[in-house]
Structure 1
Amino acid sequence: MQNSLNSIMKKNAAIRDLKSHLLHLEKFSESHIQRTKQEAEKLQKGELRVSQAKCDKIQQDIHQLRAQLSVLITENRESELALRKKKYKVEMEIENWIQKYDADMGEKQTEYEEVHAVYTEEKAQLAELKEKYAVLKQEYSQIKEERRLSQEKKERAERELAIMVRAATHIQAFWKGYLVRSLLKSKRKKKGKAKKSKK
């Protein structure tokens, strides 16, 4: 009985110690939790301030970037509009050049066809003239040859005539000489007969 009382008392003492320890632990835990909570709140406030500052900075950067984006969009729109105008102008110039080229080429084609027709006609005329020239050249060669032969014949006739004239001149000279001598001879005979008759 005494043992069970001692055991109960020991257990009660142990329970009191445990309660006291538990109470002390609860107080320590509360104090620790309170401190941790305060530190966490303090840290949270600090982080919140830092986070708010970062958010403000990010918000400011966003506003700045939005303003830059708006400026860039405006510049890009203006640049795009200028490029569109330039592109339209270049396209119109190209279209005008193409039309001018087509018109020029049409004129050149017409001119070429006209020149080609004239060339073809003149080529035919040239061929015809060449044929006529060949015939005329042949005729000219024949005429030239005939003239040469005629000239040679004429020169030969002139040479022969000159020879005959010289021969005739010689014959005439001889004949005149003969006549003169004959005349002189007959006169001498007459004179001789006259002298004889006087004697």
Structure 2
Amino acid sequence: MQQEIDQLNAQLYNLILENALKETVLQEKNEQVEVEIKSLLKNFDNEMEETQNKLESMEQIFEKEQEEVRRLDNLCAALEPQYNQIQERRRLAEEKRREEMKDLELKTKAAIYAQAWWRGHSTRMALKNKVKSKKAKKGKKTKGTK
């Protein structure tokens, strides 16, 4: 029995040693994992801090740009009535120019028509006078020779 107890004690001692070795290995692995976790958390925190800083700087830039946009909108709103007046003047000037062009075309057509009528009238009168003067000359010659 004593041998069996000694043998079981020896097995127990071996199992305790084996267990202690495995526990040591696991503790080392656990420590390595904890160190790695701390390192990852530190990297994550650093990255988050950088990202947060970038975000804050972008927000500041965005706010400045928004303020600039609001300022320019106010200026634009102030200039818009003037712009509309200028556009209205341009539109009226364009309408006036078109109307003047139509009037000029109408006057040109009227002048061409009047000139054509006058030329035709003058030509007819000249031909009529020429025919009359030829008849009168022929008539005088024949009357005077008889």
Q: What TM-score does the superposition give when structure 2 sets the normalisation length?
A: 0.74
Q: Deviations over 1:96-127 (max 9, x none)?
A: 01111111111111111222222223333344
Aligned pairs for 1:157-168 within 5 A: 157-168=100-111
5+ unaligned residues in a row in structure 1: which ranges? 1-56
Q: Distance in 2 between matches of 1:174 and 1:120?
A: 77
Aligned pairs for 1:49-198 within 5 A: 57=1, 59-130=2-73, 135=79, 139=83, 143=87, 145-187=88-130, 191=134, 194=137
Q: Distance in 1 between matches of 2:80 and 2:25?
A: 76
Q: What is the CA RMSD across the aligned residues, in angstroms?
A: 3.1
Q: Give 2:83's aligned amino acid.
A: E
Q: Give 2:21's aligned amino acid.
A: E
Q: Distance in 2 between matches of 1:192 and 1:140?
A: 75
Q: Give 1:124's aligned amino acid.
A: E
Query: SS where residue 114 of structure 2 aligns?
Result: helix
Larger Cα Rg: Structure 1 or Structure 2? 1
Shift, 1:78, TM fit: 0.4
Q: Distance in 2 between matches of 1:141 and 1:124?
A: 28
Q: Deviations over 1:158-187 (max 9, x none)?
A: 222111111111111222233334444554
Q: Give 1:119's aligned amino acid.
A: F
5+ unaligned residues in a row in structure 2: which ranges? none
Q: Give 1:64's aligned amino acid.
A: Q
Distance 1:137 1:118, change over 3 A: farther
Q: Give 1:139's aligned amino acid.
A: Y
Shift, 1:89, TM fit: 0.6
Shift, 1:150, TM fit: 3.1
Identity, in percent, stands at: 35
Q: Deviations over 1:117-148 (max 9, x none)?
A: 222233333444555666569826952x4444
Q: Give 2:35's aligned amino acid.
A: M
